[in-house]
Homo-oligomer: A and B are copies of this chain.
C-alpha cells in the first residue's frame, strides 16, 4: 500500500530547512479520476483515463501552438507529500533505498514529471492521457516532449561540444 503520511520502519528523515530558496506559482489545476493516494497508478500509461489540465490566467495564451505536439512533458506540485525523507521503503518491508533512486512523490522538492499524450485542447483546457497524480494537483509547467522538439533558436557553440572534443 502506498504511503499516506507515515514514516516506516528503517526509513530516515532529516530536519527540513525552514527557509526556501525560490518560489513557484501554481499556473493551473490537474483533474484526474484519483482522489486517494491508495488508488493512483504507480506509473501513468498512455492508454490511461483521459484527464484534464486547466490553465489559469494569465497563462492561457502560453498554450498557443501546443497542439503541434503529440506528447507533452508535465510538471506538477505533489502538494500532499512530505519532503523530509532521504531513505524510503516503498515495499514497507524494512529495506530502504535513497530517495533519488526512487520516483516516489516524497522528495525534498515534491515536483512530479510525466510524459502525456495530448488528446485535445478546448480553450484553457487540455485533455491528456498518461498521468498518475491525484485529482486537483497544482500545475507547474508544460513543455513539448524533448524527443519531439527541434530548437528554433539559431545554433550555439555548445551544440557541437562532445566530451572527446574537450579531451
Contacts and interface: CB of A to CB of B under 8 A. Distances in A.
Contact of A50 (B50, B143, B149, B163): B163
Contacts of A153: 1-2, 42, 90-91
B111 A140 contact: yes
A43 to B, nearest CB: 6
B111 A111 contact: yes
Interface string A58-87: 110111111011001101010100000011
B115 A146 contact: yes
Given A47-B163, A143-B103, A163-B49, A156 B41 contact: yes
Given A41-B158, A63-B100, A101-B144, A58 B14 contact: yes
The complex is assembled from copies of this chain, and their number is 2
B20 A23 contact: yes
A162 interface: yes
A109 B42 contact: no
